[in-house]
Amino acid sequence: MYKHYNPNEQNPSGSDCVIRALTKALNKSWDDVYLELCVYGFKYKDMPSVNSIWGFMLTDYGFSKFIIGNTCPNCYTVIDFARDHDKGLYVLGMGDHVVTVLDGDYYDSWDSGTKVPIYYFTTTY
């Protein structure tokens, strides 16, 4: 279920979760995603890691955004989401963290499985 994933070899403990997640989701290098997010940040006049900025980028790549219902706002975790979504590609937003789920596995530089997602982006691949 959890798969260690960190495409940023120069800074393994960095605060670059948005870039890490998008590299997995878009099958791009860390450098390419970072630069592209910077362009989006410049275009929309905000920081590249802001949720709306990377959201604009994913939307341009054909992803759609969905809100996760809050019937149990503190108990539906990344682990639960991955278990419920064993097929497909998803980028989960948690307010302060971002992680990619691919075919039931979640990819991150640390085990973020107990975090609670608020929304997700998905597309066919």
In a domain, 4, yes or no: no
Residue 124 has pLDDT above 70, yes or no: no
Contact indicator for 22, 91 with CB cutoff of 8 Å: yes
CA distance 83 to 74: 17
Position 9 confidence tier, pLDDT thresholds 50, 70, 90: confident
DSSP string, 57-90: HHHHTT-EEEEPP-SSTTT--HHHHHHH--SSEE
Domain count of the fold of the chain: 1
Check residue 2 and give its pLDDT. Answer: 97
- For residue 3, tell me if it sits in a domain: no
- Residue 98 one-letter amino acid: V
pTM of the model: 0.94
**HSE-CB for 66 with a 13 A CA cutoff:** 12
Tokens of 63: 């992803």
Q: What is the pLDDT of residues 38-68, one digit of tens each?
A: 999 999 999 999 999 999 999 999 999 999 9
| Interval 10-40: pLDDT, tens | 887 778 999 999 999 999 999 999 999 999 9
Task: Identify the domain containing residue 102 by its residue range.
Answer: 17-123
Rg of the chain (C-alpha set):
14
Residue 104 forms part of a structural domain: yes
89, pLDDT greater than 80: yes
Is residue 1 a part of any domain in this protein?
A: no
Which pLDDT belongs to residue 106? Answer: 98
**59 inside domain:** yes
With beta carbons less than 8 A apart as the criterion, state whether 95 and 103 touch: no
Residue 43 placed within a domain: yes
Tell whether 9 is covered by a domain.
no
| Residue 12 placed within a domain | no
